[in-house]
Amino acid sequence: MNWIILIFAGLFEVAFAYCLGKTKETTDNEMYLWFGGFLVCATISFLMLIYATRSLPMGTAYAVWTGIGAVGTVLVGILVFKEPATFWRLFFISTLVISIVGLKMVATN
């Protein structure tokens, strides 16, 4: 169950990065709404990470959380914000995914 919570925490990390990107594209009241979304998503993400680390090793949980956030944020950048999808960028993101799966496989909990 804590692995599922950790995955959702990582997805909320992607959501707060998305909101942060939207604040860069907007102005006035809309920018503040995206900033509010950033704060809500960041709070939920951190609280879920804290909960997940109660029974998962801290180093593993944190690495998986940041990995999910990094991979998701790069994918959102490519798909939503039209950032370049170069071979090397996708190659290194795939190595990160392999590392996340490896950490899950060797975790004791």
Q: pLDDT digit string (tens) for 47-71?
A: 999 999 999 999 999 999 999 999 9
Q: Helix-strand-coil percent breakdown of the chain, rounded to 5?
A: 85, 0, 15
Exposure of 95 by Cβ count < 10 A (0-12 exposed, 13-18 middle, 19+ buried)? exposed
Helix (H, G, I), strand (E, B) or coil at 105: helix
- Alpha helices by DSSP H, 26-86: 28-52, 58-79
Q: pLDDT digit string (tens) for 8-23?
A: 999 999 999 999 999 9
pTM, two decimal places:
0.88
